[in-house]
Amino acid sequence: MIKALTMTDVSPATADPVPSAGRTLIRQIRLLSGLAVAAAIFWYVGPWALGHVDPGGPVSLIDVPSGLITMAELLGLAIVSSGLAVAIAGAGTAARGPLAVAVGLATLAARGAQMDKLILHRVSIVASSAAAGAEGSLPDPYPTWGLAAETWLWLGLIAVGYVAGRWVDGWFETRPAESRPVGPSDIRQSAGAIAISTVVAWLVISFAIGRENSPIFRGQVYFAVAFGFVTAALVAHACFDLRSNLWTLLCVGIVATVAYVVGAPSSAAVAQSVKTGSYLVLRPMTRPLPIEYAALGAIGALIQHDARAVLRATFGMNA
């Protein structure tokens, strides 16, 4: 006897292979709701986790005295926000976990000031200490490697969202996706994607972020970084057969590190700023804070599938 096939016999992952317009809309609403929850968590609870950071200053871990405790608290927020976002978005959305953390960090960064205030604060500390004849090592007004290391810390926090997202996604009764082993071809393609994405992101951001002697506003920084990395991800996926977006986090870290190293102000400019107390002009590529590079870069890279869908729907492009 042939058993009748009912909805309870069909895996949720395969019950509706071609979702209707209504289901697609509901799925997008659930996704946006999950991201909104993550943003709200970081907006309201994030300042408490930062603790000693000046509420009116830039969001940075450079001057945080208890960095390990702060990172542990932020790690908890990342796990909670990514888990809730995936739970709200539904089955098969584990990759939205890191996106939720990135959205939360971008929201948290929007509460504070920009990079120039961080450097100005450190310049004033060095100038006042030197004027008072303080002995010992003084803080570097422009901590090149500290900024680069902080960017990688934020990226690590975003990557944790994928682990939490996979864990929560496992709660749903779905058929696990078949995975093929990673071979030399995958490694070569990922390396090529990172190389081409780094170049494309650098070119787009350096063009969109503005000029050195012009004022650069927060919205301009957010747009330039996000647009640069979504463009880079689209180009990489057009050139290579890639299965994951997590490699793009490496691209974000590389671009930020190169920007902070190559764009560092000269020693003469720093010394002159400390001596006179004048404003230290930063190059455009160094204007984003580490949290802004990590969060906006990850957002741009992780929404490339959505960007491809928009291009197909709007222009009929087979991106």
Tokens of 165: 């997202």
CB 59 within 8 A of CB 289: yes
Q: What number is the average pLDDT over the span 270-277?
A: 81
Domain that holds residue 254: 23-174+182-315
Higher pLDDT residue, 132 or 226? 226
Decide if 12 is inside a domain. no
What mean pLDDT value characterizes the chain?
83
Decide if 9 is inside a domain. no
Q: What number is the average pLDDT over the span 87-95?
A: 90
Decide if 6 is inside a domain. no
Task: Report the range of poorest mean pLDDT among 28-42, 45-59, 68-82.
Answer: 45-59
Q: Please state, as a whole number, how many other Cβ atoms lie within 10 Å of the Cβ of residue 297.
A: 32
Decide if 220 is inside a domain. yes
Q: What number is the average pLDDT over the span 273-285?
A: 83
pLDDT of residue 1: 38
Cα 270 versus chain centre, distance: 29
Residue 200's pLDDT band, with cuts at 50, 70 and 90, is very high
Higher pLDDT residue, 190 or 297? 297
Query: What confidence tens digit (pLDDT) does each residue in 19-42 have?
Result: 566 788 888 899 999 999 999 999
| For the chain, percent of residues with pLDDT exceeding 90 | 43
Nearest CA among 72, 92, 76 for reference residue 166: 92
Q: What number is the average pLDDT over the span 197-207?
A: 95
pLDDT of residue 128: 80
Task: Report the range of poorest mean pLDDT among 74-88, 156-170, 189-203, 231-245.
Answer: 231-245
Residue 8's pLDDT band, with cuts at 50, 70 and 90, is very low
Decide if 5 is inside a domain. no
Q: What number is the average pLDDT over the span 75-94?
A: 93
Radius of gyration of the chain (CA): 22
Taking the alpha carbons at both ends of the chain, their separation in whole angstroms is 48
Decide if 86 is inside a domain. yes
Distances (CA, A) of 192 to 23, 147, 197, 238, 244: 37, 26, 8, 12, 14
pLDDT of residue 184: 54
CB 72 within 8 A of CB 134: no
Q: Tell me how many domains the chain contains.
A: 1
Decide if 17 is inside a domain. no
Residue 203 pLDDT > 50, yes or no?
yes
Burial of 47 (0-12, 13-18, 19+ CB in 10 A): middle
Decide if 18 is inside a domain. no
Query: What confidence tens digit (pLDDT) does each residue in 96-105 have?
Result: 999 999 999 9
Q: What number is the average pLDDT over the span 45-70?
A: 80
Q: What number is the average pLDDT over the span 169-186?
A: 63
pLDDT of residue 182: 52
